[in-house]
Amino acid sequence: MARSGVLYIHVAQAAAQLMAEGHAPTIDRIRAALGGTGSKSTLAPLLKRWKAAHPGTLAQAEQGLPTELVLALKGVYEKVQADAALQVEQTEQRHQAATTVLQEQLQLSAAQRDALASTQEQLIESLAAANERIQTLGDTVQRQEIALASLGSEKVGLEQRLVDRVSEVAALAQQLQQARGQFEHFQAAVAQQRADERQVAEQQHHRQEQQLTALRQRLFAQQTRLGELQAQEQRQSHDNEHLQSTLLTTQGALEQSQRAHEHLIHQFTELQQKHQALEQRHAHDKQCLVEVQTNLAVIQRERSLLAERLTRTESSLTELGTAQQRLLQDNAVLSSQLAELRTQQPNLPSVS
Protein backbone atom coordinates (compact mmCIF):
# COMPACT_ATOMS: atom_id res chain seq x y z
CA MET A 1 0.00 0.00 0.00
CA ALA A 2 1.08 3.61 -0.62
CA ARG A 3 2.61 5.68 2.13
CA SER A 4 0.28 8.24 3.64
CA GLY A 5 1.03 11.67 2.19
CA VAL A 6 1.25 11.08 -1.61
CA LEU A 7 -0.96 13.81 -3.05
CA TYR A 8 -1.94 15.13 -6.44
CA ILE A 9 0.49 18.05 -6.16
CA HIS A 10 3.39 15.59 -5.73
CA VAL A 11 2.36 13.66 -8.80
CA ALA A 12 1.88 16.92 -10.77
CA GLN A 13 5.34 18.18 -9.76
CA ALA A 14 6.98 14.87 -10.68
CA ALA A 15 5.17 14.83 -14.04
CA ALA A 16 6.23 18.44 -14.77
CA GLN A 17 9.83 17.57 -13.87
CA LEU A 18 9.76 14.59 -16.24
CA MET A 19 8.26 16.77 -18.98
CA ALA A 20 11.00 19.35 -18.45
CA GLU A 21 13.62 16.61 -18.79
CA GLY A 22 12.01 15.48 -22.05
CA HIS A 23 10.53 12.24 -20.73
CA ALA A 24 6.91 11.15 -20.99
CA PRO A 25 5.36 10.76 -17.51
CA THR A 26 4.52 7.15 -16.66
CA ILE A 27 3.57 5.46 -13.41
CA ASP A 28 7.01 3.88 -13.01
CA ARG A 29 8.83 7.14 -13.71
CA ILE A 30 6.53 9.07 -11.36
CA ARG A 31 7.14 6.48 -8.64
CA ALA A 32 10.91 6.65 -9.19
CA ALA A 33 10.80 10.48 -9.08
CA LEU A 34 8.93 10.29 -5.76
CA GLY A 35 11.64 8.11 -4.24
CA GLY A 36 9.88 4.79 -4.66
CA THR A 37 6.79 5.81 -2.69
CA GLY A 38 3.22 5.28 -3.81
CA SER A 39 1.62 2.19 -5.29
CA LYS A 40 0.35 1.96 -8.83
CA SER A 41 -3.24 1.86 -7.63
CA THR A 42 -2.64 5.20 -5.88
CA LEU A 43 -0.53 6.88 -8.58
CA ALA A 44 -2.60 5.77 -11.58
CA PRO A 45 -5.76 7.88 -10.93
CA LEU A 46 -3.62 10.90 -9.95
CA LEU A 47 -1.54 10.65 -13.13
CA LYS A 48 -4.70 10.16 -15.19
CA ARG A 49 -6.15 13.30 -13.65
CA TRP A 50 -2.99 15.25 -14.50
CA LYS A 51 -3.00 13.98 -18.07
CA ALA A 52 -6.67 14.99 -18.42
CA ALA A 53 -5.76 18.50 -17.24
CA HIS A 54 -2.68 18.78 -19.59
CA PRO A 55 -3.53 17.18 -22.93
CA GLY A 56 -1.52 19.75 -24.87
CA THR A 57 1.52 19.26 -22.69
CA LEU A 58 1.47 15.53 -23.40
CA ALA A 59 1.23 16.20 -27.15
CA GLN A 60 4.21 18.52 -26.93
CA ALA A 61 6.15 15.94 -24.93
CA GLU A 62 5.47 13.36 -27.60
CA GLN A 63 6.44 15.72 -30.45
CA GLY A 64 9.24 17.47 -28.52
CA LEU A 65 9.43 21.15 -27.54
CA PRO A 66 12.30 23.64 -27.88
CA THR A 67 14.66 23.64 -24.92
CA GLU A 68 14.29 27.40 -24.31
CA LEU A 69 10.49 27.09 -24.19
CA VAL A 70 10.69 24.15 -21.79
CA LEU A 71 13.14 26.03 -19.56
CA ALA A 72 11.00 29.18 -19.67
CA LEU A 73 7.88 27.21 -18.80
CA LYS A 74 9.75 25.45 -16.04
CA GLY A 75 10.98 28.77 -14.61
CA VAL A 76 7.51 30.31 -14.70
CA TYR A 77 6.00 27.22 -13.13
CA GLU A 78 8.63 27.05 -10.38
CA LYS A 79 8.27 30.81 -9.67
CA VAL A 80 4.48 30.52 -9.39
CA GLN A 81 4.86 27.45 -7.16
CA ALA A 82 7.45 29.19 -4.96
CA ASP A 83 5.36 32.36 -4.63
CA ALA A 84 2.25 30.37 -3.78
CA ALA A 85 4.12 28.22 -1.23
CA LEU A 86 5.74 31.31 0.35
CA GLN A 87 2.39 33.10 0.62
CA VAL A 88 0.73 30.03 2.11
CA GLU A 89 3.60 29.58 4.61
CA GLN A 90 3.49 33.25 5.67
CA THR A 91 -0.27 33.08 6.07
CA GLU A 92 -0.01 29.89 8.16
CA GLN A 93 2.71 31.48 10.34
CA ARG A 94 0.57 34.59 10.97
CA HIS A 95 -2.42 32.43 11.76
CA GLN A 96 -0.34 30.23 14.09
CA ALA A 97 1.04 33.29 15.91
CA ALA A 98 -2.44 34.84 16.24
CA THR A 99 -3.85 31.51 17.46
CA THR A 100 -1.04 31.17 20.04
CA VAL A 101 -1.63 34.70 21.36
CA LEU A 102 -5.38 34.11 21.62
CA GLN A 103 -4.85 30.79 23.39
CA GLU A 104 -2.51 32.47 25.91
CA GLN A 105 -5.04 35.27 26.47
CA LEU A 106 -7.80 32.69 26.88
CA GLN A 107 -5.75 30.74 29.45
CA LEU A 108 -4.94 33.97 31.32
CA SER A 109 -8.63 34.92 31.33
CA ALA A 110 -9.55 31.46 32.63
CA ALA A 111 -6.91 31.73 35.40
CA GLN A 112 -8.16 35.21 36.37
CA ARG A 113 -11.75 33.96 36.35
CA ASP A 114 -10.79 31.01 38.64
CA ALA A 115 -8.91 33.39 40.97
CA LEU A 116 -11.91 35.72 41.09
CA ALA A 117 -14.24 32.78 41.74
CA SER A 118 -11.98 31.65 44.63
CA THR A 119 -11.84 35.22 46.01
CA GLN A 120 -15.61 35.49 45.66
CA GLU A 121 -16.10 32.24 47.62
CA GLN A 122 -13.75 33.52 50.36
CA LEU A 123 -15.64 36.80 50.53
CA ILE A 124 -18.95 34.96 50.71
CA GLU A 125 -17.59 32.85 53.59
CA SER A 126 -16.26 36.01 55.33
CA LEU A 127 -19.62 37.68 54.80
CA ALA A 128 -21.43 34.69 56.29
CA ALA A 129 -19.04 34.70 59.28
CA ALA A 130 -19.56 38.44 59.73
CA ASN A 131 -23.34 38.01 59.56
CA GLU A 132 -23.13 35.23 62.11
CA ARG A 133 -20.96 37.40 64.37
CA ILE A 134 -23.40 40.31 63.96
CA GLN A 135 -26.27 37.99 64.86
CA THR A 136 -24.36 36.79 67.94
CA LEU A 137 -23.60 40.38 68.98
CA GLY A 138 -27.25 41.30 68.44
CA ASP A 139 -28.34 38.43 70.67
CA THR A 140 -25.78 39.49 73.31
CA VAL A 141 -26.97 43.10 73.15
CA GLN A 142 -30.58 41.95 73.44
CA ARG A 143 -29.76 39.83 76.48
CA GLN A 144 -27.83 42.72 78.04
CA GLU A 145 -30.73 45.07 77.36
CA ILE A 146 -33.08 42.59 79.05
CA ALA A 147 -30.66 42.29 82.00
CA LEU A 148 -30.37 46.08 82.15
CA ALA A 149 -34.15 46.44 82.14
CA SER A 150 -34.36 43.84 84.89
CA LEU A 151 -31.71 45.70 86.91
CA GLY A 152 -33.62 48.95 86.36
CA SER A 153 -36.79 47.34 87.67
CA GLU A 154 -34.89 45.94 90.63
CA LYS A 155 -33.36 49.39 91.26
CA VAL A 156 -36.83 50.94 91.27
CA GLY A 157 -37.98 48.27 93.70
CA LEU A 158 -34.97 48.89 95.94
CA GLU A 159 -35.57 52.64 95.85
CA GLN A 160 -39.21 52.05 96.82
CA ARG A 161 -38.09 49.76 99.65
CA LEU A 162 -35.60 52.41 100.76
CA VAL A 163 -38.40 54.98 100.84
CA ASP A 164 -40.48 52.55 102.91
CA ARG A 165 -37.56 52.03 105.32
CA VAL A 166 -37.11 55.76 105.66
CA SER A 167 -40.82 56.07 106.45
CA GLU A 168 -40.48 53.31 109.01
CA VAL A 169 -37.45 55.05 110.58
CA ALA A 170 -39.43 58.31 110.76
CA ALA A 171 -42.34 56.47 112.36
CA LEU A 172 -39.94 54.85 114.83
CA ALA A 173 -38.40 58.22 115.63
CA GLN A 174 -41.86 59.63 116.24
CA GLN A 175 -42.67 56.69 118.48
CA LEU A 176 -39.39 57.32 120.31
CA GLN A 177 -40.34 60.97 120.80
CA GLN A 178 -43.72 59.97 122.07
CA ALA A 179 -42.06 57.43 124.34
CA ARG A 180 -39.76 60.12 125.68
CA GLY A 181 -42.78 62.38 126.32
CA GLN A 182 -44.55 59.59 128.09
CA PHE A 183 -41.38 58.93 130.07
CA GLU A 184 -41.20 62.55 131.16
CA HIS A 185 -44.86 62.38 132.05
CA PHE A 186 -44.20 59.24 134.03
CA GLN A 187 -41.29 60.93 135.76
CA ALA A 188 -43.56 63.86 136.73
CA ALA A 189 -46.19 61.40 137.92
CA VAL A 190 -43.55 59.52 139.87
CA ALA A 191 -42.34 62.80 141.42
CA GLN A 192 -45.90 63.64 142.36
CA GLN A 193 -46.76 60.14 143.54
CA ARG A 194 -43.29 59.03 144.62
CA ALA A 195 -44.30 58.15 148.05
CA ASP A 196 -47.16 55.84 147.21
CA GLU A 197 -46.38 54.62 143.65
CA ARG A 198 -42.59 54.31 143.67
CA GLN A 199 -42.66 50.62 143.01
CA VAL A 200 -45.17 50.99 140.19
CA ALA A 201 -43.18 53.87 138.70
CA GLU A 202 -39.97 51.90 138.88
CA GLN A 203 -41.64 48.98 137.14
CA GLN A 204 -43.03 51.24 134.46
CA HIS A 205 -39.66 52.95 134.18
CA HIS A 206 -38.05 49.57 133.74
CA ARG A 207 -40.56 48.60 131.11
CA GLN A 208 -40.01 51.92 129.36
CA GLU A 209 -36.28 51.38 129.45
CA GLN A 210 -36.78 47.96 127.93
CA GLN A 211 -39.03 49.41 125.24
CA LEU A 212 -36.50 52.17 124.65
CA THR A 213 -33.71 49.63 124.34
CA ALA A 214 -35.82 47.55 121.99
CA LEU A 215 -36.63 50.66 119.94
CA ARG A 216 -32.95 51.63 119.85
CA GLN A 217 -32.01 48.12 118.77
CA ARG A 218 -34.75 48.22 116.16
CA LEU A 219 -33.55 51.67 115.00
CA PHE A 220 -29.96 50.39 114.85
CA ALA A 221 -31.12 47.36 112.85
CA GLN A 222 -33.07 49.65 110.52
CA GLN A 223 -30.04 51.89 110.13
CA THR A 224 -27.88 48.85 109.44
CA ARG A 225 -30.40 47.63 106.89
CA LEU A 226 -30.46 51.11 105.40
CA GLY A 227 -26.65 51.04 105.11
CA GLU A 228 -26.84 47.63 103.44
CA LEU A 229 -29.50 48.92 101.07
CA GLN A 230 -27.37 51.96 100.25
CA ALA A 231 -24.33 49.72 99.66
CA GLN A 232 -26.45 47.45 97.51
CA GLU A 233 -27.72 50.51 95.66
CA GLN A 234 -24.11 51.61 95.07
CA ARG A 235 -23.24 48.12 93.82
CA GLN A 236 -26.29 48.17 91.58
CA SER A 237 -25.27 51.61 90.31
CA HIS A 238 -21.73 50.36 89.68
CA ASP A 239 -23.10 47.27 87.88
CA ASN A 240 -25.41 49.53 85.90
CA GLU A 241 -22.45 51.71 84.86
CA HIS A 242 -20.46 48.60 83.96
CA LEU A 243 -23.36 47.30 81.89
CA GLN A 244 -23.73 50.65 80.16
CA SER A 245 -19.99 50.64 79.40
CA THR A 246 -20.28 47.08 78.09
CA LEU A 247 -23.29 48.11 76.03
CA LEU A 248 -21.35 51.06 74.55
CA THR A 249 -18.40 48.74 73.78
CA THR A 250 -20.75 46.21 72.21
CA GLN A 251 -22.43 48.92 70.16
CA GLY A 252 -18.98 50.14 69.01
CA ALA A 253 -18.02 46.57 68.02
CA LEU A 254 -21.37 46.23 66.26
CA GLU A 255 -20.76 49.46 64.35
CA GLN A 256 -17.26 48.26 63.41
CA SER A 257 -18.73 44.96 62.25
CA GLN A 258 -21.33 46.81 60.21
CA ARG A 259 -18.61 48.99 58.65
CA ALA A 260 -16.55 45.87 57.90
CA HIS A 261 -19.68 44.27 56.45
CA GLU A 262 -20.27 47.31 54.22
CA HIS A 263 -16.59 47.23 53.18
CA LEU A 264 -16.87 43.55 52.31
CA ILE A 265 -20.02 44.24 50.29
CA HIS A 266 -18.17 47.05 48.47
CA GLN A 267 -15.23 44.72 47.70
CA PHE A 268 -17.66 42.04 46.58
CA THR A 269 -19.36 44.55 44.23
CA GLU A 270 -15.99 45.58 42.79
CA LEU A 271 -15.03 41.94 42.26
CA GLN A 272 -18.35 41.32 40.51
CA GLN A 273 -17.67 44.29 38.22
CA LYS A 274 -14.15 42.97 37.48
CA HIS A 275 -15.62 39.53 36.82
CA GLN A 276 -18.14 41.03 34.38
CA ALA A 277 -15.31 42.97 32.67
CA LEU A 278 -13.29 39.76 32.33
CA GLU A 279 -16.31 37.96 30.90
CA GLN A 280 -16.75 40.78 28.37
CA ARG A 281 -13.04 40.55 27.50
CA HIS A 282 -13.39 36.78 27.16
CA ALA A 283 -16.33 37.31 24.78
CA HIS A 284 -14.23 39.84 22.84
CA ASP A 285 -11.36 37.31 22.64
CA LYS A 286 -13.81 34.70 21.34
CA GLN A 287 -15.02 37.18 18.72
CA CYS A 288 -11.38 37.90 17.72
CA LEU A 289 -10.79 34.13 17.44
CA VAL A 290 -13.85 33.85 15.18
CA GLU A 291 -12.49 36.71 13.07
CA VAL A 292 -9.09 35.00 12.83
CA GLN A 293 -10.80 31.77 11.79
CA THR A 294 -12.77 33.75 9.20
CA ASN A 295 -9.53 35.31 7.93
CA LEU A 296 -8.00 31.83 7.77
CA ALA A 297 -10.96 30.63 5.72
CA VAL A 298 -10.48 33.64 3.41
CA ILE A 299 -6.77 32.83 3.11
CA GLN A 300 -7.57 29.22 2.35
CA ARG A 301 -10.04 30.45 -0.26
CA GLU A 302 -7.33 32.69 -1.74
CA ARG A 303 -5.01 29.70 -1.72
CA SER A 304 -7.61 27.72 -3.67
CA LEU A 305 -7.97 30.64 -6.08
CA LEU A 306 -4.17 30.74 -6.50
CA ALA A 307 -4.19 27.01 -7.22
CA GLU A 308 -6.94 27.52 -9.80
CA ARG A 309 -5.00 30.45 -11.25
CA LEU A 310 -1.91 28.23 -11.46
CA THR A 311 -3.99 25.59 -13.21
CA ARG A 312 -5.29 28.19 -15.66
CA THR A 313 -1.71 29.43 -16.19
CA GLU A 314 -0.60 25.91 -16.95
CA SER A 315 -3.52 25.54 -19.36
CA SER A 316 -2.57 28.84 -21.01
CA LEU A 317 1.01 27.66 -21.36
CA THR A 318 -0.29 24.43 -22.82
CA GLU A 319 -2.43 26.36 -25.30
CA LEU A 320 0.57 28.56 -26.19
CA GLY A 321 2.63 25.47 -26.84
CA THR A 322 -0.15 24.03 -29.00
CA ALA A 323 -0.40 27.30 -30.94
CA GLN A 324 3.37 27.35 -31.44
CA GLN A 325 3.25 23.78 -32.66
CA ARG A 326 0.53 24.69 -35.12
CA LEU A 327 2.57 27.67 -36.30
CA LEU A 328 5.56 25.39 -36.82
CA GLN A 329 3.39 22.97 -38.73
CA ASP A 330 1.95 25.79 -40.84
CA ASN A 331 5.47 27.09 -41.44
CA ALA A 332 6.58 23.63 -42.51
CA VAL A 333 3.59 23.35 -44.87
CA LEU A 334 4.28 26.80 -46.32
CA SER A 335 7.96 25.96 -46.71
CA SER A 336 7.00 22.75 -48.50
CA GLN A 337 4.61 24.57 -50.78
CA LEU A 338 7.23 27.25 -51.51
CA ALA A 339 9.77 24.58 -52.35
CA GLU A 340 7.31 22.94 -54.76
CA LEU A 341 6.59 26.29 -56.40
CA ARG A 342 10.29 26.95 -56.83
CA THR A 343 10.70 23.54 -58.40
CA GLN A 344 7.86 24.22 -60.79
CA GLN A 345 8.88 27.87 -61.42
CA PRO A 346 12.62 28.34 -60.94
CA ASN A 347 12.38 32.04 -61.81
CA LEU A 348 10.40 32.93 -58.62
CA PRO A 349 12.17 35.44 -56.41
CA SER A 350 13.40 34.14 -53.05
CA VAL A 351 11.68 35.21 -49.82
CA SER A 352 14.07 37.01 -47.50
CATH code, domain carrying 125? 1.10.287.950
pTM confidence score = 0.27
Give residue 348's pLDDT.
Answer: 56
Is residue 140 a part of any domain in this protein? yes
Q: Residue 86's pLDDT is what?
A: 83
Please give the C-alpha separations between residue 4 and each of 8, 28, 35, 79, 300, in angstroms, as whole numbers. Answer: 12, 18, 14, 27, 22
Q: Look at residue 45 in the predicted model and tell me its pLDDT.
A: 92
pLDDT value of residue 349:
57
Same domain for 114 and 17, yes or no, is: no
Residue 24 belongs to a domain: yes
Report pLDDT digits (tens) over 119-135.
888 989 888 888 888 88
The C-alpha atoms of residue 229 and residue 159 are separated, in whole angstroms, by 9
The answer to whether residues 2 and 37 touch, using CB atoms and an 8 Å cutoff, is yes
Map residue 159 onto helix, strand or coil.
helix
Residues 6+ apart with CB under 8 A from 319: 56
Give the domain-ending residue among 9, 41, 64: 64
Residues 76 and 136 in one domain: yes
* Within-domain flag for 332: no
State how far the Cα of 167 lies from the Cα of 174, in Å rounded to an integer.
Answer: 10
d(CA 283, CA 266): 26
Q: Is residue 345 part of a domain?
A: no
Residues 165, 48 share a domain: no
Instruction: Look at residue 252 in the predicted model and tell me its pLDDT.
Output: 83
Q: How far apart are CA 208 and CA 180, in angstroms?
A: 9
Predicted confidence at residue 57, as pLDDT, reads 65
Do residues 266 and 224 both lie within one domain?
yes
User: What local confidence, expressed as pLDDT, does residue 60 receive?
Assistant: 59
Instruction: Return all residues near 12 (Cβ < 8 A) that are at least 6 apart.
Output: 50
Quickly count helices (H) and strands (E) in the chain. 6, 0
**For 3, phi and psi rounded to 5 degrees?**
-70, 145
Query: What is residue 71's predicted lDDT score, i.e. its pLDDT?
Result: 63
CA dihedral 143, 145, 150, 152 (to 10 degrees): 160
Same domain membership, residue 260 and residue 161? yes
Asked whether residue 340 is domain-assigned, the answer is: no
The answer on 221 and 291 residing in a single domain is yes
Contacts 24+ apart (CB under 8 A), 281-286: 281/109, 282/106, 282/109, 282/113, 285/102, 285/105, 285/106, 285/109
Residue 90 lies in a domain: yes
* Residue spans of the chain under pLDDT 50: 1-3, 351-352
Return the amino acid letter for 247: L
Quote the pLDDT of residue 48: 92
Asked whether residue 31 falls in the same domain as residue 89, the answer is no
How far from chain centre, in Å, is Cα 13? 53
Domain that holds residue 26: 1-64
343 falls within a domain: no
Q: What count of other Cβ atoms lies within 10 Å of the Cβ of residue 254? A: 16
- Count structural domains, the chain: 2
Based on the fold, state whether residues 132 and 203 are members of the same structural domain: yes
Which residues are within 8 A (CB) of 188 and not within 5 positions of it... i.e. 6 or more apart? none
CA distance 86 to 92: 10
Q: What's the full length of the chain, in residues? A: 352
Residue 2: per-residue pLDDT: 38
